[in-house]
Chain A
Amino acid sequence: MSVGSKPAETLKPAVRALFEKSRGERYGLTFAAFEVVLEQVAEKYVPGATPQRKVEFWQELRLEELALSRGCVAGHELAWQEFLTRYREKLYDIARGITKEDSSGRELADSIYADLYGLSEREGRRVSRLSFYMGRGSLEGWLRTVLAQEFVNRYRKTKRLVSLEEEAEDGVQFASAEPFAATSVDDRLGLATDDALNHLAAEDRLILAAYYLDDRTLTEIGRMLGVHESTISRRMEKLLKGLRKQVMTGLQARGMNRGQAEEALETDVRFLTVEVRRRLQDSRPPAFQQDKGSD
C-alpha cells in the first residue's frame, strides 16, 4: 500500500480533533502518522473529494479502532494489550460460530493471528493484516469478515460450491459431463430471461441469487439485506410475478405466441436439473482479495 500524503493544512484543526477522538496517542500513534492514515483511507474510498467531504468521511470512520489497529501494526505493546483484551476471545467465538466446530474454529482463529501479528512477509518486509483495516466498519466486524473469507478460501471443499480446480489438484477424478437432453430449451427463453434479469435492481438479483443459487432461507436473505424476512417474502412473490411477465413479453417479442411462450416457460425440468449443476460446477471464481497482497 502506498504511503499517503498528509491532509492539507486547512484541515489540521479538524484532523487534530479527530486524533483526540481516536485516542491515538494512547496506542503509540503520533499525530503525523494519524494524518497519513486518514489520507490513505480518503484516497482509497473518496479519491478526489473536497476537503469538506474528506472531513465528513473521516468523521464517519471508527477512529478509535483505526488508531488501535495502527498501533498494533506499529507493534505498540499497549495497543496489543488492548487488542487482545477486546478481541482474543471474540476471535475464537467468531471462528467457532463460522466453523460450527471447536477444534476447527480454534485452528481458523490461530491462523488469523499469525497474519494479524504480521508474521507473514511480503517483498521482504513484515506486513500485518491489521494495516488493511480502514475503519469503515467496526474492527470486530472486520475480523469477522476476514475470518469468513479465510474459511471460505480454506474450507471451500466442504462448502456447497465445489471448486473443480482445487479438487483436480488433489487428484480427484471426474466423470465426463452428462449429455444434454435431446430437446433443449429454446435459446429465446434464455435470452428473454437474461433480459428480464438485467432489468432487475441489484437487490432483486441478490435475492434471487441467494435464494436459488445459494439456497438461503428468507431469514438469511433478510439479514443480508437488513430487512425483515416478511419483506423478503413479499418482494420475492412480487419479483417472480414480474419476472414471469417480463419473460413472457420477451418471448413474444422474439416471435413466440402466447401459448408457445407459456409452454417454453414450463421448460424442460430435466434440462434445468442437469444444466444447473453443470453451470454451478463450471463457475470459477477469480482470485479472491486484493488486500491479500496481490497488488
Chain B
Amino acid sequence: MRQRLAARQAPQTHPDPDLLTAYVEQALGETERNQVVDHLAACSQCREVVSLSLAEQPVEAVAARPSTVRGRFWLPAFRWTAVAATVAIAAALVIEKPWRHAGNSETQFAQKVSNEAPATPAAQPAGNIPAEKSAATASGAPARSISRGEAQDNLGLAASETRSSERTDEARAKPSRVAGGQAGGVPAQTATVPAEQPPLVVTAMVPPVVAQPQRLVSPQPPPKVSGSDVALRNTQRDYVNENLLKNQAAAPAPTQTVEVTAEAPLVETKSTNGLPPAPAPKAGADGDRVQAQKSEPLITAGNVKDRAFNYNLQAPATGEPAASPAPDKNTLDSMNFAAKVTKKVKEGAKGAMAKIGGAQPPSVASGFASSMASPDLKSAEADQEAKQEAAQFHWRVTSDGILQKSSDLSHWHEAYPQEGDLQFRSFFTMGQGHQVWAGGNNGTLVHSWNGGVKWDTLKVPEANGSDITSISIDDGWQIKTSNGQTFVSHDQGKTWVPLKQN
C-alpha cells in the first residue's frame, strides 16, 4: 500500500498559504475543504507545511471514554457555592473539634486559616495572638467574651503550645491522621488515627473559625447562644449541620456532629478508630479544655488539610444538645468529596454566578474555599486543571455533529470523540466554557465541568430515539428533543419528566 500511495502522481498546483491557513483554522466551506484535503492526500510537501503550521495546542487530557452514567448533573452554581461553603464549614468543624480550646491556640488557628489561601505553611509562634483579638480579626465576628477561666487557660496555653509547636513539623510529616496522643480535646473518631501522631492543640479559636464559615454561607449569623463555649459551638454546629444537610444533595452528607470534648485522651484506646471516645462536654469545663490544650500541637497550614480530611465526626455523647444524626461512616469520603466540590464550584462559580445570580458573591465562597483547599490539595492534575481554569473555551457543533472547542476562536478541535453514529445537535455552556453540556442523537447528553478534559455521559431514556436539540436552564434543567418533547430535571439529571406533551 505504501508503494501505491507513493506512486500516485503529485498534483501540479498547490493551494496558496491563505487556503492552507483557512484549512488549518477550519474556516473553509465544505467544497473548498474537500479540495484541500484531496490535494493534501496526494502532496507530501503541503502535508509537511500543514503539519508545521499547526499551532502548538495546549496539552489536553484525552477523554478516551466518557465515564459511566452517574446521574450527576451540576446544580446551578449558586447552590453549589452554598454547598461548598457549608462543606468548608464542616471542614472547619472537623479541624476545630478535637482541638477546641479557649485561648491563644484557637486564635492562632483562625489566623492561620485565614492566611492560608496562598498557603505557604508557616507555623506561627504559639501564643502570639491574644484570643480575644484574634477572635475579632480572624473571623470578623464580634469577639466573644472570654471567661476568667479561659483567660487563665490562655496564659497556660502559651507554654503548652510552645511545646506543641515543636511537634508541628513532625505532625506535618505524618500521614493525614488526626492526632492521638496526649489528653485533651480529641474526640472519639471513626477515622483511623495513628497513635504516633502528636497531640493536637484544642484551640480556643474554634468559635471564630466557625463564625467565618457562617459568614460565607449565609448572611444570617448563627443563633447566638450565651453561656459556655460548648453550648455556643453546639448551636453553631447544629446550624451548620442543618445547612449542610439541606444543601448538599449529591454527596453523602458528612456527619456534622461536633464532639465537644475536653478530656478525651489522645492516646488510642478502645474506640472504633483507635481513639478513646470523648467524654461528654461539660458546660464551663474550661479546666478540661486547658488540659486538652496542653497536649495538642498547633494546627498549621501544613497539617490542616490532613487534619480535616481524616478527621471523622462522631455523634455526641448522651446529654449533648445535639441535633445532628449519628456520623456516617463515609465521613472521610465526604470530606474528600467536599474538597472536590469546593474546587469544582470555584471553577464554575465565577461565570455562572453572574448568569444565574447566586446569593453569595463568588469571590467570598471561592476565596474561603481556596483557603480551605490549601495547596496541599493540588496535585499535578489539579495544577493542570488550574491552568485550564484561566482559559476561556468556545464551543460549537459542526454540521456533521462533531462537538468542537477552541480557546482562541481560530483553531477548533474535536472535543468529544465520535463513537459509532453519535452526532451532537446542541450544547449549553457556562463558566467561561468550562462547563458544557452537549446533546446528541439517541437521547445522548454529555457533560464536562473542566473544559472538555473529562466527560460524564447522561442518558435520557425518555428521549431515546430522538435527538436532543436544545439545552437550557429554566426552573430546572430542560432539554428539548427533535420530536417536540421537552424534559425537565430537578435532581441533577438523574430523572427527567416530560414538561410538555405534543
Point out residues on A near B: beta carbons under 8 Å.
Answer: 45, 60, 97-98, 132-138, 140-142, 144-149, 151-152, 159, 161, 190, 193-194, 197, 202-203, 205-206, 208-210, 212-214, 216, 220, 222-231, 234, 243, 272, 275-276, 279-280, 283-286, 288-291
Contact = CB atoms under 8 A, between A and B. Distances in A.
15 contacts: A132-B16, A137-B22, A141-B21, A141-B55, A142-B18, A142-B21, A145-B24, A193-B1, A202-B34, A214-B48, A224-B54, A228-B417, A228-B418, A234-B419, A288-B14
Nearest to B34: A202
A294 to B, nearest CB: 11
A93 to B, nearest CB: 9
B62 interface: yes
Contacts of A193: 1, 4
Interface in B229-276: none
A291 B6 contact: no
A229 B414 CA distance: 9
Interface string B44-64: 110111111111110000101
Contacts of B2: 212-213, 272, 276, 279
Contacts, number: 184
Interface in B21-39: 21-28, 32, 34, 37-38
Contact of B47 (A133, A209, A226, A276): A209
B195 interface: no
Contacts of B28: 136
A211 B42 CA distance: 13
B500 interface: no
B27 A197 contact: no
B71 to A, nearest CB: 25
B25 A289 contact: no
Given A137-B24, A144-B55, A190-B4, 20 more contacts: A97-B56, A132-B16, A135-B18, A136-B22, A138-B25, A141-B21, A152-B52, A161-B44, A206-B37, A206-B47, A212-B2, A220-B54, A223-B54, A223-B57, A226-B404, A228-B414, A228-B417, A230-B417, A283-B6, A289-B16
Contacts of A137: 18, 21-25, 27, 410
A241 to B, nearest CB: 13
**Interface size bracket, B side:** 35 or more
A141 B410 contact: yes
Contact of A152 (B45, B402, B404, B415): B45
Contacts of A286: 10-13
Nearest to B418: A231
Given A209-B5, A272-B2, A224 B47 contact: yes
B141 interface: no
B412 interface: yes
Contacts of A280: 6
A226 B412 contact: yes
B64 to A, nearest CB: 6
A226 to B, nearest CB: 5
Contact of A288 (B45, B56, B62, B418): B45
Contacts of B10: 283-286
- Name, among A152, A159, A220, the residue most crowded by chain B CB atoms within 10 Å (CB to CB): A152
Contacts of B62: 228-230
Contacts of A284: 10
Contacts of B7: 279
A138 B410 CA distance: 7
A208 to B, nearest CB: 6
A276 B51 CA distance: 22
Contacts of B5: 197, 205, 208-209, 212-213
A229 to B, nearest CB: 7
A230 B45 contact: no
8 closest Cβ contacts across the A-B interface? A137-B21, A148-B52, A205-B41, A136-B22, A279-B6, A202-B38, A206-B41, A137-B22
A149 B4 contact: no
B357 to A, nearest CB: 34
Contact of A291 (B16, B50, B56, B57): B16
B69 to A, nearest CB: 20
B143 interface: no
Interface string B134-175: 000000000000000000000000000000000000000000
- Name, among A148, A151, A276, A283, the residue most crowded by chain B CB atoms within 10 Å (CB to CB): A148
A126 to B, nearest CB: 20
Contacts of A225: 37
A144 B53 contact: yes
Contact of A285 (B20, B44, B64): B44
A244 to B, nearest CB: 9
Contacts of A148: 48-50, 52-53
B413 interface: yes
Given A230-B62, A230-B417, A231-B414, A285 B24 contact: no
A185 B55 CA distance: 42
Interface in B388-421: 402, 404, 410, 412-419
Contacts of A285: 10, 43-45
B17 interface: yes
B417 A134 contact: no
B463 to A, nearest CB: 25
B40 interface: yes
B64 A291 contact: no
Contacts of A220: 51, 54
A183 B419 CA distance: 43
Contacts of B18: 132-137, 142
A99 to B, nearest CB: 9
Contacts of B38: 202, 205
Given A137-B25, A214-B47, A142 B54 contact: no
A213 B16 contact: no
A202 B11 CA distance: 14
A231 B25 contact: no
A132 B19 CA distance: 11
Contacts of A194: 4
Interface in B276-316: none
A141 B24 contact: yes
A137 B40 CA distance: 18
- Name, among A142, A152, A216, A226, the residue most crowded by chain B CB atoms within 10 Å (CB to CB): A226
- Name, among A161, A202, A228, A280, the residue most crowded by chain B CB atoms within 10 Å (CB to CB): A228
A208 B3 CA distance: 12
A137 B16 CA distance: 11
Contacts of A234: 419
Contacts of B64: 230
B21 A138 contact: yes
A170 B402 CA distance: 49
